[in-house]
Structure 1
Amino acid sequence: MNNRWIIHVDMDAFYASIEEREDPSLKGKPLVVAKDPRKTGGRGVVSTANYIARRYGVHSAMSSSEALKLCPKAIFRFSGFQLYRAVSQQIHNIFHHYTDTIESYALDEAYLDVTNNKLGMTDPVQIGREIQQKIKQVTRLTCSIGISYNKFLAKEASDYTKPAGFTIVSVEDAPAFLAQLPIEKFRGVGKKTVPKMKELGINDGSDLLKLSELDLMKHFGKFGYSLYRRARGIDERPVEASRVRKSIGRERTFGPVLDSEVVVNTQLRLIAAKVIKDVAKQHKHGKTLVLKVRYQDFQTVTKRATFLDYIENNVDNYLEITSELLTNLPPVEAGVRLLGITLTGLDDLNYENLALNLF
């Protein structure tokens, strides 16, 4: 499938960049996109941080109170997902000018198959340049573009020179590009895998190429199968315009109803533990956590929190997020008869653990 042209568009520090656009005085300062923990009693979760704040170790999905400890001079700002979604829609409108074969992974990230595009353009570089320029003109935001013959390489290319990067990896260029790529940059190679790689003498793509498929599967299980192919630039996954949004969740109905925050949090902890167990069994992780609450009068409300990094699968982290979501709901003292937690936006744990340098 080397005759395809796929563009990966990755917005640069999307939420943070929108906040800086709305308030230019934030530029040049450490910015955390979250509610200020000093005003919320320490509660809150980081959606993203700009590049300056990230130098202090602040990252998506950590508690805002921890972010404050790491970066005491950080400015906390959160204008809301209504604004972020509106800007994302502007960007997707630009995509649709060229193709409807679009696979979105978050508000700020998408794959576009432009092999057979609406305008009959034969040069993917021209398409990529136009998209990057139009996004800048319409939104006043920058993005990084990666172009290649498959999704894996297109994503690697967009991540290669951020921010405002533009990288093309052709069939001819792929072997050299992958050979020099640090092993930490390969999709799916996370912090826990890197030490094992180093022990095996795998420091970059050229080292990875030396190992047989059997050796890689011996050391890394099913992920070894993927690594063998990625080292050779093989990825036959199509851009799925109608990508199904999968989810894993649990809910529980109560009788008598729950009427205190302590009891509700206790039950949420139990439900979160079950969801995490199910997620672990399926070897998944996700970017969106959904809280469902049904009250004594049968009013049912759902709230969700979406991150650009995959949410860390532990109970305390889930509770931090659900507690934040609860603050925007009617008081639990009104009587709660059902609670539910669902993780959506799922991908395989072996898949692209996109710790976006945006958020």
Structure 2
Amino acid sequence: MSSVLKNKLQQKLAERAAQGNLRELKTTTGLADFCSNDYLGLARSERLRALIRQEEENYKQLPLGATGSRLLSGNHGLFEELEASIASYHQGEAALLFNSGYSANVGLLSALPQRGDTVFYDEASHASMKDGLRLSFAKSYSFRHNNVEDLRQKLKRATGQVYVVVESVYSMDGDKAPLRELARLCNEHTAALIVDEAHAVGLYGDKGEGLTVALGLQDQVFAQVITYGKAMGSHGAAVVGPKVLRDFLINYSRAFIYTTGLPTHALVALKCAYTLLPDLREERARVQQLAALLYLKLNKLSGIRCTPEDSVICSVFLQEPQQLKMLAAALQKEGFDVRPVMPPTVPAGTERLRVIVHAYNTEEEMEGLVQVIAKGT
């Protein structure tokens, strides 16, 4: 049985390899970073590192690990303190911490919509959202990416409580959801709007609160999912919304109930990252300026198309998509960490280089990146 099963698994891997889409783990060192989600540089910040070490001294009485789920032995005062601070920061009533952005989306969307309810989600939504909805008893339907009119038409088939689920900034395409229009439409249909702020936290808002707060929509969004493994340079995630939502998730979200809580170090790191976040206005401005400059430079090249115009996530499309892997390899050879994004991560026909701009990138690095792309197209 073991050999038969291993052969089946190997066959599946061979099929993916034949399609040119086999995933492999890689390590890169010494390359200019145009790949990670560390938009503001907090993950490599010595200032943050020093602050964490200092703050950890204030919590030496706590165990290193949570020791259990928070409903058993794993809860303590730092959790409660941090969640109250997170809720205030993102202008919500309450917050509940999860162990990752993935588990927050799965935990929220598998528990909240009930049998007989209807969920509409943007077709470009993150896999964690779709996986959460697969575990829900509610009906769920996709609508065309950022197409409010398509959503309006599909809302006609809704039953029960209606939910609309989107990302504020999309992880692959880098474009923004039309949150104002979506909020108005949800208000018309008494639908609850849920916004994943994973790629907006840190970058938008006066203090980096995210796009929901930056647009003043916090009272029209039922729940925000705040993820910490990107611009915050840390780990974990929080669902921010009404207090009753927090209480509901504590009772019904299996992803919260049946997992060990975050370790003390992760909580301290989050507390310290939030301490620094309001003062990173210069970094927020710089990363936006660099992104605009890169967009202009890339779109001057022949044979490529770069989108969107105003995002730190740049998708670079080639006329010949099969050249993407060769171009990515050439970029890495020349010292630039850029990765191709292939199916099934994105739909077939939308393969691209995903180029991420950071506050610590230099104009010289960007110029070198553009030159290598120009040579390879």
TM-score above 0.5: no
Task: Please state which structure has a larger fraction of its residues in strand.
Answer: 1
TM-score norm. by structure 1 comes to: 0.30
